[in-house]
Amino acid sequence: MVKKIKLILLSVSVIGILSLPAYADLVPMSWGFPTFSQDSTLSNFEQDFGFNTDFELSSVSFPTSGSSMFDSSFPTITQISNKTSMAGVIRYSTQHESTQFSYPWISIGFSPVPSMGFL
């Protein structure tokens, strides 16, 4: 008798579950254009400084011999060279790069994070 009651209850519950109406629940449709963007900036500053000094001294003297007045008539030749140079350079450069990628995205069901499409 207990088996029959269990079988009847099981049959009634299966018939009750199968007789419920079927329905679908969709989230509202969403769409958009997600965008991937990347920005980069490069700055460069250079400063160079140079200082140079060149000092040269040269003397040429001809030897004289004898006591005559004409023997000592050759002069001594002296040359002096003094050069100074200075250079300064300042360089500055900046570079800015920007990249953007956008793609269409449509979702009819639940999709909290859209995919990139190509991943």
Give the pLDDT band (50/70/90) at residue 119: very low
Q: Are 110 and 25 in contact (CB under 8 A)?
A: no
Tens digits of per-residue pLDDT, 40-58?
Answer: 999 999 999 999 999 999 9
Give the pLDDT band (50/70/90) at residue 96: very high
* Domain residue extents for the chain: 46-61+74-91
Q: b vs e for 46-73, b when ≥16 Cβ sit within 10 Å of the residue's Cβ?
A: eeeeeeeeeeeeeeeeeeeeeeeeeeee
Statement: the pTM of the whole predicted model exceeds 0.75: no
Q: Are 51 and 86 in contact (CB under 8 A)?
A: yes
Dist. CA 64–CA 71, nearest whole Å: 6
